[in-house]
Structure 1
Amino acid sequence: MAKHLEDGKKGEQLALDFLKRQGYDIITINWRFKHLEVDIIAKEDGILVFVEVKARRSVLYGEPDSFVDWKKQRFLLSAAQAYLSFSGYEGEIRFDIVSVYLGKDFRIELIKDAFWSN
């Protein structure tokens, strides 16, 4: 497996463990519909949360969360709409980003309510 794919899988597992420790109830991981995907779908305090995980070994090209640009946000909004349609969920939702720094300065950062559609 390519190194960046290994890093992605490792980052997702670390993010999943981190979210569980933060009190998130995990509903599903890597939810897919057609070309859409959400890394983690969970609930926290009754809110349905769509989580995008970004793992990087270096910030040479930018912070991990900076890779969740407007195009990726639109993609995630579409995925969330599809999930909501299938699940019938009608409550509050939000979008979080988990940045996993895999390099020598290992750390995990959570950005709650990272973006929203207008």
Structure 2
Amino acid sequence: MAKHNEFGSLGEQKAVDFLRNGGYAILARNYRYLNAEVDIIAQKEDTLAIVEVKSRTMGFLGDVSNMVSAKKVKLLMLAANHFVEERDLDVDVRFDVITIIRNGNKYEIEHLERAFYHF
């Protein structure tokens, strides 16, 4: 596995751990629907969080609006809608971005709730 893929997998696991520690139940990881893939689907009370995880090194940071393209947002919305309908859930849906920033051997986690359009 390439180093960037290993770091991406580590970042996703750190995001899962972060969410669990925050009281979320993890319902799905790497959920696929058509051409969409949702990194994490988590639920806390009556809110379903559709989470995109971005792992970065300290020297490679950017604005969240540049991290998730308009095409990716559309795909995430389709996948989220399918997940909710498939499981017949009655929940509020929110789209979040979690960034995992590596600085040497330390990691900083930032959770941006409602990062973009939600329904």
1:68 matched to which residue of 2? Answer: 68
1:117 and 1:91 mapped to 2: Cα distance? Answer: 12
Deviation at 1:50, TM superposition (A): 0.7
Structure 1 gaps, min length 5: none
Partner AA of 1:82 in structure 2? H
- Residues 55 and 64 in structure 1, CA contact (< 8 A), matched pair in contact too: no
2:52 matched to which residue of 1? Answer: 52
2:107 and 2:63 mapped to 1: Cα distance? Answer: 13
Q: Over aligned residues, Cα RMSD in angstroms?
A: 2.0
Percentage of identical aligned residues: 37
Structure 2 gaps, min length 5: none
- Residues 37 and 76 in structure 1, CA contact (< 8 A), matched pair in contact too: yes
- Residues 39 and 53 in structure 1, CA contact (< 8 A), matched pair in contact too: yes
Alignment of 1:12-51 (within 5 A): 12-51=12-51
Identify which range, 54-63 or 10-19, moves more after superposition: 54-63
Distance 1:5 1:23, change over 3 A: same
Deviation at 1:34, TM superposition (A): 2.8
Bigger fraction of residues in strand: 2
Please report the TM-score for the alignment, with normalisation by the length of structure 1.
Answer: 0.87
Deviation at 1:5, TM superposition (A): 0.7
- How many pairs are equivalent? 118
1:8 and 1:79 mapped to 2: Cα distance? Answer: 21
1:110 and 1:102 mapped to 2: Cα distance? Answer: 15
2:109 matched to which residue of 1? Answer: 108
Distance 1:90 1:46, change over 3 A: closer
